[in-house]
Structure 1
């Protein structure tokens, strides 16, 4: 890696040993190794320009200074976080080798990154996506999966983990095992119920031996998350939906549409299986225009009274 600054051996020699450690002991990919090298080279040059002669004299104040410089240069929070993570790993290596007693980058973090959420599909786009009328087993299975995700908001991992015994038609509910192995029950009705039951009549055609999974592949085994992602993406293209389709986008659309219609954040939290309501508040953003319309209709001070 070429550089315009000639660093002294006190900087370069520990770095070379660290790169050997990443390569030989950690077994990291070439791409990851090169990323470490790039980030650490930049920081080493910055510290040297600030007057430091070796790594032992770097303290938290110096680390904060180069982090601030990155922010002033307009580096994205995610890139700055990667840079600081590389530095923390390098200092941990020096501590492991007995060359440092504490990690000066440990308490320094990049500015908090904004959580980005996928755009939800509007109702018309959902209708277009779910207008699958082909009767072969795989098409019926795929529509059942999409109807179930959009109709219940369950996660992809939760859906592929479902067994046939988890479906209760009589009680109109599904038993779901969520994050942290926590069980919850979600309502099972409408189109989701209709299409899952259609799939259950065709499922024996693909079934191999005693596979308990609700959704199986053409090989008769529990379907994989990658297979579901691929199939949904293909259906989005086939149905002419302009937006890229993913399982997470269906979950997000469920949450957004239910919240827009009901305004009941607590109910959406329960349906999504969120531990904290703050997660739901971030995840299920309401369209501002919708909020403005609701305000205009509901608030007594939204309209000026006509002057006499």
Structure 2
């Protein structure tokens, strides 16, 4: 059976390429899946082109994996064998003559419509956060509701990924609450602005409270237990809020990110500025939001009304 040195590979991706935590976790999962396949089918080194093609069929037919998952797992595997061959030329990559085309359906993002966003912003008085353990501190759920709504507002105006928000430290926010230093994908830093004055003041007050409670290196957002608020916990709060408001499909942090990008493009913000705000490495990733913004196109066409102009 081939020996997959996936731990060393993952560590090299982290140390040499600055790959993010979530991507590293996906790499490890992809390589473990392939390791199980090689064990089940009693494969041995050196692996061949036919072994890779058989693994592709296994992912597609036996596991029923989605096209995007199949592509990711093959890309991870190809990167691993290129890295492995670079360290030991006696084991050439089995991908040398492999040509696999995975057709991935192009899905448009699903932003949250404006009426739903208004309903969400007005729903902060109801229960959102529930304490995981009994406590005598009855004010905690109320304060957690306020934190949840604050994060929702920040997602709407900044387009941040939820992991970027929940990983913020107190020191990452400017004293006036108007700027955030974000550590994004691939450890790329960027500055994100909070444009709304009322939200700036709300954000500043939250940061001031946290600053009085903890050191500047402490997490900015805490859960009901006083530890760093995790992305998964915030997603649970959004699902609870979705059920309470009858929102389908349910709210997710990434839908707020889609909404932020779509709203900005509909209001005429240059796409390159939106790219910088979202932290996209490629403009192609941002361009999808231009196609989503049909309402902006409709308003523009109604303003022009070419047929009426020709009748004059």
Task: Place the TM-score, normalised by the shorter chain, in its bin.
Answer: 0.5 to 0.7
Q: Counterpart of 2:114?
A: 123
TM-score normalised by L of structure 1: 0.64
Q: Counterpart of 1:53?
A: none
- Structure 2 residues without counterparts, runs of 5 or longer: 8-27, 127-138
Please give the secondary structure, in 2, of the residue aligned with 1:262: coil
Q: Does 1:109 align with 2:81?
A: no
Using the alignment, how far apart are the partners of 2:33 and 2:175 within structure 1? 49
How far does the alpha carbon of each residue in 1:139-174 deviate from its partner, in whole angstroms, 9 at most, with x for none?
001001111111211111211122223223537222
2:188 to 152, 175, 181: 181
Is the contact between residue 137 and residue 199 of structure 1 (CA under 8 Å) also seen in structure 2?
Answer: no
- Corresponding residue pairs, total: 269
Q: Counterpart of 2:310?
A: 305
Using the alignment, how far apart are the partners of 1:133 and 1:114 within structure 2? 40
Higher relative contact order (CA 8 A, sep 6+): 2
Please give the secondary structure, in 2, of the residue aligned with 1:250: helix
Please give the secondary structure, in 1, of the residue aligned with 2:292: coil
- Structure 1 residues without counterparts, runs of 5 or longer: 1-16, 41-55
Please give the secondary structure, in 1, of the residue aligned with 2:242: helix
Q: CA deviation at 1:278?
A: 1.7
Structure of greater Rg: 1
Q: Does 1:241 align with 2:232?
A: no
Q: Does 1:217 align with 2:223?
A: yes
Q: CA deviation at 1:189?
A: 2.2
Q: 1:257 to 1:263 in 2, by over 3 A?
A: same
Matches within 5 A, 1:129-208: 129-131=120-122, 132-133=124-125, 136-168=142-174, 170=176, 172-179=178-185, 180-190=187-197, 192-197=199-204, 199-200=206-207
Q: 1:113 to 1:184 in 2, by over 3 A?
A: same
Q: 1:199 to 1:140 in 2, by over 3 A?
A: farther
Q: CA deviation at 1:248?
A: 0.8
Is the contact between residue 252 and residue 284 of structure 1 (CA under 8 Å) also seen in structure 2?
Answer: no
Is the contact between residue 175 and residue 186 of structure 1 (CA under 8 Å) also seen in structure 2?
Answer: no
Using the alignment, how far apart are the partners of 2:281 and 2:90 within structure 1? 43
Is the contact between residue 161 and residue 257 of structure 2 (CA under 8 Å) also seen in structure 1?
Answer: yes
Is the contact between residue 156 and residue 247 of structure 1 (CA under 8 Å) also seen in structure 2?
Answer: yes
Is the contact between residue 213 and residue 222 of structure 1 (CA under 8 Å) also seen in structure 2?
Answer: yes
Instruction: Quote the RMSD (CA, aligned, Å).
Output: 5.0
